[in-house]
Structure 1
Amino acid sequence: MKAIREYCLCLGNKKMMPTAVKVALVVGSILFTINHGAALIKGQMTGDRWIAATLTYIVPYLVNIHGQYISRYK
């Protein structure tokens, strides 16, 4: 439980956030283009697709913060 609490605190860590945001934007944009680019161009983005598209950016952020957390505190 302590590790989960510490990780959650790192999600808003001002030292870790800039790198995580950059990674999320680059990786998320690549994944968005691969997974949703055609639907966006065709105007076929549904609510479910927008939820998935949002996760496409959130997951790389979370993974990067996790990597930084592990490398700094473990």
Structure 2
Amino acid sequence: MRRLFSVITSRHIVLAAIKVSLIVGTLLNLINQFDALLGEQEWRLGMAVLNYLVPYLVSSYSGAVQIIKKE
């Protein structure tokens, strides 16, 4: 568990996960909050945060697991 946390917080994994999160999260926000972007509904901050957080967590975890498996 310590090794997993160490790898997840490494610079390489964090930067890669941020890139994935920005791309996927933006696409998810466009899809999930399209009505809010048009002004037809309220912007849902919680959903917007989750749209970026989930891809970040999945990307960082899967990247770390792959690095650990190679060791």
What TM-score comes out, normalization by structure 2 length?
A: 0.80
Moved >2 Å (runs of 4+): 5-12
Deviation at 1:41?
A: 2.7
Give the root-mean-square deviation of aligned CA atoms: 1.7
Deviation at 1:62?
A: 0.4
Is the CA contact (8 Å cut-off) linking 2:28 and 2:51 kept in structure 1?
yes
| 1:51 equivalent among 35, 46, 69 | 46
Equivalenced residues, count: 68
What TM-score comes out, normalization by structure 1 length?
A: 0.77
Deviation at 1:72?
A: 0.5
Q: CA-to-partner distance for each residue in 1:21-72, whole Å, 9 max, x for gaps?
A: 1100000000000001221331622xxx201110100100000001111110
Is residue 68 of structure 2 the alignment partner of residue 64 of structure 1?
A: no
Seq. identity, % = 32
Matched AA of 1:26? I
Gaps of 5+ in 1: none
Gaps of 5+ in 2: none
